[in-house]
Amino acid sequence: MTEPLKLYNTLTRSLEIFKPIKKGHAGLYTCGPTVYHYAHIGNLRAYVFEDILKRALKMNDYKIKHVMNITDVGHMTSDADTGEDKIIKGAKREGKTAWEVAVFYTVQFKKDIKALNIIEPDVWCRATDHIKEQVALIQKLENKGYTYIIPEDGVYYNTKKFENYEELGRLNIEGQKEGARVEFIEGKKNKADFALWKFSPKEEKRDMEWESPWSKGFPGWHIECSAMAMKYLGEQFDIHCGGVDHIQVHHTNEIAQAEGATGKKFVNYWIHNEFLIVENSEKMAKSGDNFITLATIREKGYDPIDYRYLLLTAHYRSKLTFSWEALTGARTALTKLKNYVVDFKTGSNNGDWKKYKEEFENSINDDLDTPKALSIMWMLIKDENIGAGKKREAILHFDKILGLKLEEAKEEDIPQEVKELIRKREIARTEKKWKESDETRAKLRALGYEVSDTQEGQTVRRIV
Ligand SMILES: [Zn+2]
């Protein structure tokens, strides 16, 4: 018997058995990208984790409705609702309109998702397509007395009016030093108050602005997620995900907006992934020299799926340190795995892998423990009592969760890394650098390739 699916709920700070609102169904909302730049690989970690969660829910026979937003307006460079709208910033940087920038980076983001073999959401929703819903939600909050206006600035949420405001983030707003969490804006009643609707600056015509009951302007970032999540998933739904950086402000504000408006519990399970850290560096950000995208990964000769494998080697709630050495390690492991899948095409169907199936599924159901799941797969590969045919069947079954595209592994796939080493060895041999030639041969062997020298040159054979 497989254990039931358990997930770590940020709301209760504990591991809980997943119990859906509607039997057999799971409603899932995941905060999407702000489309003003390419996604960096740190951003992408969240989407891979959410993809594993989705596949795990599917493994447990849930019918899933997954909604992801595209933030194409209103996400300010500072959490305090000051600074610039990120999309406008992107437009200035590139000499385009805000609309053009948003469309361009939405397309790029969807390409990244595809390259990482992430299953697309059932509903993509853009903030700019849902202004009406956001205005309606703000009006509802206004009618219930949750809002106030700061002249020439915007409509603000009065966080003091919402009793559970500090719950998700375990916040202590009063005890915080000024400016510790958010900067202070003139006219704000409480430190944590945030903008629901921002007024367009009088002196400037924005690319993106709309009429509203208050003044011409644009929605704040947080209101879009509450409005769209409730539109597509209902006032109460099962799971809401995002990075840990969303806990204290964005998700806290989403709860205040939704629960303030409906008086009902918004979401049952809040699940958050940890950061990706770049070696010798801070958290990855879009400014600074550690801005690595999938394009950077490809330029260096890696496949995006190598990166997916690397992500699965760490638990989603642990910080993961990215380095090129670690990515090389992931690529080597994935290459070996693909070779096994190809070689196992011919082989006996002896033995059965029931025990491994159960262990694999239990580790996934144990708060998505992908490192353990991977190790179980490697143990199966080494098990001499199970025939190759059965092993292949098992690996491909596991890959429905892991999503490493192992079904597509082909015989002729000599990885780039191996090709480069063969070339390097060829050069070493013509230059009679025998030591280097031998070292390269050893490296190839470690990758699962045996090279021999014939009169025609080097020939390469895969070893399993
Ligand atoms: Zn969101």
Coil, strand or helix: which one is 272? strand
Quote the ligand 1 centre to 286 CA distance (angstroms).
Answer: 19
pLDDT in tens, 51-86: 999 999 999 999 999 999 999 987 777 766 777 788
Q: What is the pTM of this model?
A: 0.87
pLDDT of residue 61: 97
In a domain, 1, yes or no: no
Q: Span 227-235, mean pLDDT? A: 98
| Portion of the chain with pLDDT greater than 90, in percent | 70
Q: Give dist(CA 67, CA 455) in Å, integer.
A: 60
CATH number at residue 359: 1.20.120
Quote the ligand 1 centre to 183 CA distance (angstroms).
Answer: 20
Domain final residue, candidates 216, 243, 273? 273
Quote the ligand 1 centre to 137 CA distance (angstroms).
Answer: 15
Least confident of 157-171, 236-250, 257-271: 157-171
Quote the ligand 1 centre to 356 CA distance (angstroms).
Answer: 37
Mean pLDDT score across all residues of the chain: 91
pLDDT in tens, 170-212: 887 766 654 455 556 788 999 899 999 999 988 878 888 999 9
State the total domains in the chain: 3
Is the same domain home to 45 and 194? yes
Is the same domain home to 282 and 268? no
Q: Which residues surround ligand 1, an ion (CB under 5 A)?
A: 31, 225
Helix pair 98-115, 304-312: axis angle to 10 deg = 70
Q: Give dist(CA 152, CA 199) in Å, integer.
A: 6
Least confident of 222-231, 262-271, 289-298: 289-298
Q: Where are the alpha helices (DSSP H) in 202-320?
A: 221-233, 252-262, 294-299, 304-312
Is the same domain home to 204 and 227? yes
Is the same domain home to 282 and 252? no
Is the same domain home to 134 and 266? yes
- Cβ(339)–Cβ(281) below 8 Å: no
pLDDT of residue 345: 84
Bridge-based pairing state of the strands 14-17 and 6-9: antiparallel
Quote the ligand 1 centre to 55 CA distance (angstroms).
Answer: 21
Quote the ligand 1 centre to 233 CA distance (angstroms).
Answer: 14
Quote the ligand 1 centre to 325 CA distance (angstroms).
Answer: 33
- Cβ(241)–Cβ(28) below 8 Å: yes
pLDDT of residue 92: 84
Tokens of 152: 């020439």
Domain final residue, candidates 273, 307, 336? 273
* Residue 458 burial by Cβ neighbours in a 10 Å radius (0-12, 13-18, 19+): middle
Closest CA to 90 of 79, 74, 78, 102: 102
What DSSP state is assigned to residue 301?
Answer: T
Q: pLDDT: is 83 or 234 the higher one?
A: 234
Quote the ligand 1 centre to 246 CA distance (angstroms).
Answer: 8
Is the same domain home to 197 and 313? no
Residue 48 scores a pLDDT above 70:
yes
Is the same domain home to 83 and 213? yes
